[in-house]
Structures are given as structure tokens and as C-alpha cells.
Amino acid sequence: MAGAVFQTFEEKASPAQGAPHLAALRKELKVRGLDGFIVPRTDEHQNEYVPASSERLMWLTGFAGSWGVAIVLSDKAAIFVDGRYTVQVREQVDVSLFTPEHLIDHPPEQWIRQTVKAGATIGFDPWLHTHDGIKKLEEACVAVGAKLVPVETNPIDAVWTDRPALPLAPVTLHKPAYAGEDASEKLARIRAKLVETQSDAVVVTDAHAVAWIFNIRGGDVGHTPLPLGFAIIPREGKPELFMDGRKFSNTVRDALSDLADISEPQALDTALDRLGTNASRVRFDAATASTRLVRRIEQAGGKTELGVDFIALMKAVKNKAEIAGSRAAHIRDGAAMTKFLAWFDREAIKEQLTEIDAAVRLEECRRETGVLKDVSFPSIAGAGPNAAIPHYKVSSASNRRIEKGIFLIDSGGQYEDGTTDITRTIAVGPATAEMKDRFTRVLQGHIAIATAVFSKGTTGAQIDAFARKPLWDAGLDFDHGTGHGIGSYLSVHEGPQRIAKTGVTPLEAGMMLSNEPGYYKAGHWGIRIENLLLVEPRIIEGAERQMLGFETLSYTPIDLNLVEPSLLTVIERAWLNAYHAKTRALLSPLLDQETQAWLEHATREI
């Protein structure tokens, strides 16, 4: 049982693979009469976590980040990444082959305009691009007199000799006690929406939405219990589910057959053609629908409507069972976190632990609950300067020894009753005044979000600044959103709600979000404090509006060695003391005596 089961720390790729793979791809492109090809990191569902068989960008370049796109021409190639990955791309990719470009400052469409020659034919895999996303690139090609053409099969797959097989993890039924709503009820809600929008059908392209609708889970991608598949839900008639039959036991198949006709993924085309031939009005989620599917309907004579995914919004609002499940998962997870922290407190001061040791021990503590299904993402376990990289992923190569200073660990668990995601920052040895000042400001921002009350209709963008104000007051900030949505035993990142500049969705009771302000001193150390939140109605005497607020779901001590109490207001101090008192009360019954004693001290009143 010792060691990590759900996480590996080896580098899966190296810059050295760029040269042979790029040469092989170029050869294949020549055979196909293409002057170039576009290689995004996504899969057919625009997933954040993709199966190994879809890691084409990593195979080609060595880049292992969660978002990126390469463009390969016969004599030039570039890789585009966002601000998170500008350092990492230079470590993982042979930049003499792939010029690194900044996605925002010098986007692909601009690069195409400056680089692609008139008369060139550039290919793209229409399964891997959204309908709107490919338009910009098409326009750029047209502008220089080149053509952007969809390919029937991906040329990388033709030359990727050891490409992993498509995943076939068994599909399981998500228990009614955790799901809280029958699939038939969800289907009825979706059909009602189709009546409202006067659509004939919706093609469900987000595999998470498919899993949510049919109350099924799987294991086709890392750390998310996600079965890959598509569905078509008509306004009238039986839904169709497109999923590889080998993933179903007889029991699962029987249960699903009552709800939908089950077909192989290859049958999707026939179904789309049928919708098209009937001149149906077909709705798509603009964010996850590939242009391949949209074009197929249109070519068959159907009408397509791309818009916001209303199923995502239904999924985002958790029901009573999901909320109860999440609360239970968080108490269990908080006890595991506390065991880890007590151990870390004893061991780290010896300066012998590494980041991987800590990530492994934390996974063990979670597995000791007996019900952990997976970690919800690879732990971000950063010591010293590695803590200053918000999206750091520890590997054997990057692994640092934990010395006196700051250690940051961002992790989560997948339990059948809920998905968790929590970050704690811990002082190893005495903290400096600067560390305490920064940590306390981050904590003040965290408390401002946790205690916020706001009227119905308020978006996540509107409250984002509450988390930043204590930092702004000192001329500081952090370069990521304050919070993201989270799934119920599903993806650790879920939309559409978020607390960030881009959070245009009004927050609704039942939504779950993270609350994770931070501060990063590049090259030195970093701080982040993350709990999960539930949006809930808030009763205020004399209120004229429907008001909302947050219930904090995560319970784990916040390191008091990093708090400067004199900076806290009376209200902030009261919040911290109450949070710690509740943490103690909830977790103590689940802990051994030694950890109880540690928790007692860690949650002392200040």
C-alpha cells in the first residue's frame, strides 16, 4: 500500500523526440500533398485531461502542458503556449525545431499571416478544433492566399508507431445516492430546454455532460472518472449514446438501454446525417463541439445552432445528494490532509524530505480512507522556488529537497461522493516577516471571498477583486483566477461559473467553486490558500433582494506560523478562529490520538 498508486513522477517525453517525430510528420505531410499541419493539444471533446492516445502535441514536441498548439510547415514550425507555460515550453521542447510563441501576444493566426506562403495547403484535423476556433485560422490562411483543409485521418496517427490504444475503461453506474437525480429526470429537463429553444435535438459533445446526464462514470482519462463518448438527445424520441461497447458490463448496458439506444462511436456519422436529411435544427455547445460534427450536420442539410452549453449550467448547480456527498467527502479528505500535515510537521524540519516524498505520503493518507478512487489531479507539491510556479508539476527531474522556508501543496481526491481540491502553504522552520505579510494578505483575500454576500445575478467576475484587495493595497497581485467550478465525482475543473476576470456567469445557489488567492515571489517561494465553496442562499434581516453567500466545504488547518495576527481585523480573526474550531470539531473524531493532539495545537485560537 506504500508509494504512489495514482501518480507517477517520470517525464513522459523529452525534447529529443522532436527531431525524429517532426521529420516523420513532414514526410507524411508530403505524401498527402500538405504544406503544413496544425497540432492542438486537445482531443475530440476539447478535454483538459486527454487520453494517452490523444497526446499528439506531446509526441511531436515533448511539451506536456495542458494547453498548446503547434503549426508545422515544411521548413518552419512553431509552438504556441499561454503565460503559464512560457518557461516550461523551453525546458520540454527543442526550440531550434519549434519556435516558442506567446498565444496572446503573437497568436497562431498572426503567425500564419506572416509565415504561410500564397498557394500553400495547410491541413487540420476537424475533430480537434471547435467550429468557431478554426475560423480565425481559416481567415488567416485565406488572407495570404493559402488554403486550410480538413483531413480525413490525422497524419500523426499514421506515423506514431507506438501510439497507445484508445482507452476502454469500464463504465460504472454512478449510484443514485450520490447522483441525486435520475437520468430520466435530467433528460426531461433537457427536452424542456429544447422545447424552449425550439431545437429538434442537442448533440452532447462534452463527455462530462454525457456522464452527468446518464449517471455513469468511467476512467478513460487521467484522474477524472470520465467515460469518453457522445450523445444525441432529440426533443422527441429516444436518446442515442455513442460509446465503445467493450466498456459496458451487461448490468450497465441493461441499465442504460432503458434510457437510450446504444451505438458504437462510428455510428455517430449516420445519426448526424439522419438529422441533417430531416432538416433538423440541431444545438451544439460552442465550446466543445468539433467543427467535424457541425459541418457534418450542415452538409447533410441540417441547421446548426452553436451556443452556451445549457447542460453545463444544469450540471454546475448541485442537488441535495451531491451537496451532502461533497460535505462528507470533504470531512474525510480533511482528516487525510490533517494526518499528512501532522506527519509533515514532524518530518519536514529534518530537511530530508523531497517534494515527491510529500506528494506520495499525502496520496497514502488519502488512500488510507479506504474509499479513494483516484487523486483528482497530479499534486502540485512545490518547495521554495518551485512553489512560485502556480501550475508546477513535480517530476523526478524537477524534484527538490524540502528545506527551511515555504512548502506549497495543491491536491485533491476523487471519492464517489465528491471531488476535492485543496491547497495549503506551510512554513518549514521560522517564517520571515515578508512571508507572513504576504500569507496574511492572501488569507485576508480568502476570507473576503468566504464571507462575501452578494445579490442574485452577481457574476464571479464582480467579486473577484475581493480576493485581491489586500494584495493590491500593497502593490501586489497574482496572475490566475480566484476560483473555478468543480464536478461531483467528475472533473476538478468545471464550468461555466468561475471567480475571475472571465467569470460572466451569475452565481447560483448550489454551485461549487474554489477559493484560491495566492502570491508568488518568482525564483523564491509562493503562497496559495484554497478551500472549496458552496453557493447558498443567505438570509439577511431587512433584505430587499435575494442574497447569496458561501459555505466553506474544505476543513484543514491553515498554518498559523505564517499568520501575522496584527494585520487581521477583528472580523477576520474571528473567522479564522471559528474556521479552526469547526475544523477541530469535525475532524478530531476521525483521527488517531497523536494527530488529534497536533490538530489541537494547529487550530489554537489566536
Interface contacts to a copy of itself, rule CB under 8 A = 113, 139, 142-143, 198, 281, 303, 305, 452-455, 458-459, 461-466, 468-469, 472-477, 501, 504, 540-545, 547
Cell matching residue 474 = 500593497
Closest CA to 368 of 415, 405, 320: 415
What 577-586 contacts at long range (C-beta under 8 Å, 24+ apart), as own/partner pairs, is 577/605, 577/606, 579/552, 579/555, 580/604, 580/605, 581/605, 582/555, 583/334, 583/338, 583/555, 583/556, 583/557, 586/331, 586/334, 586/555
The CA distance from 543 to 541, in Å, is 5
Cell matching residue 350 = 529534518
Q: Are 171 and 248 in contact (CB under 8 A)?
A: yes
Cell matching residue 35 = 504544406
Cell matching residue 66 = 495542458
- Of 222 and 549, the one with the shorter C-beta distance to a copy of itself is 549
- Of 145 and 164, the one with the shorter C-beta distance to a copy of itself is 145
Give the nearest distance from C-beta 278 to a copy of itself in angstroms: 14
Tell whether omega for the bond before 100 is within 30 degrees of 0, i.e. cis: no
Can you list the alpha helix ranges (DSSP code H) found in 278-319? 291-299, 310-316
Give the nearest distance from C-beta 456 to a copy of itself in angstroms: 9
- Of 378 and 470, the one with the shorter C-beta distance to a copy of itself is 470
- Of 135 and 274, the one with the shorter C-beta distance to a copy of itself is 135
- Of 278 and 319, the one with the shorter C-beta distance to a copy of itself is 278
Give the nearest distance from C-beta 433 to a copy of itself in angstroms: 12
- Of 52 and 476, the one with the shorter C-beta distance to a copy of itself is 476
- Of 207 and 388, the one with the shorter C-beta distance to a copy of itself is 388
Give the nearest distance from C-beta 90 to a copy of itself in angstroms: 23
Measured at the CA of 354, the angle between CA 351 and CA 356, to 5 degrees, comes to 160
- Of 78 and 156, the one with the shorter C-beta distance to a copy of itself is 78
Give the nearest distance from C-beta 458 to a copy of itself in angstroms: 7
Helices (H) and strands (E) in the chain, counts: 19, 28
DSSP 198: T
Give the nearest distance from C-beta 566 to a copy of itself in angstroms: 17
Q: Are 311 and 206 in contact (CB under 8 A)?
A: yes
Closest CA to 531 of 436, 606, 425, 450: 450
Cell matching residue 321 = 445528494
- Of 66 and 462, the one with the shorter C-beta distance to a copy of itself is 462
Q: What strands, in cross-sheet order, belong to the sheet with 240-242?
A: 261-263, 240-242, 230-234, 201-204, 281-285, 303-307
Give the nearest distance from C-beta 461 to a copy of itself in angstroms: 4
Cell matching residue 389 = 510556479
- Of 336 and 448, the one with the shorter C-beta distance to a copy of itself is 448
131-to-37, 42, 47, 126, 296 alpha-carbon distances in Å: 17, 14, 15, 8, 11
Question: b/e for 206-231, b at 16 or more Cβ within 10 A?
Answer: bbbbbbbbbbbbbbbbbbbbbbbbbb
Closest CA to 586 of 576, 594, 596: 596
Closest CA to 113 of 154, 161, 148: 148
Give the nearest distance from C-beta 231 to a copy of itself in angstroms: 23
Give the nearest distance from C-beta 479 to a copy of itself in angstroms: 9
- Of 377 and 466, the one with the shorter C-beta distance to a copy of itself is 466
Give the nearest distance from C-beta 549 to a copy of itself in angstroms: 9
- Of 98 and 454, the one with the shorter C-beta distance to a copy of itself is 454
Count other Cβ atoms within 10 Å, centred on residue 161: 6
- Of 522 and 597, the one with the shorter C-beta distance to a copy of itself is 522
Give the nearest distance from C-beta 103 to a copy of itself in angstroms: 16
Give the nearest distance from C-beta 417 to a copy of itself in angstroms: 32
Give the nearest distance from C-beta 145 to a copy of itself in angstroms: 10
Q: How many CA atoms lie within 13 A of 592 on its CB side?
A: 10
**Which amino acid is residue 388, in one-letter code?**
A
Q: Which residues pair with 523 in a beta bridge?
A: none
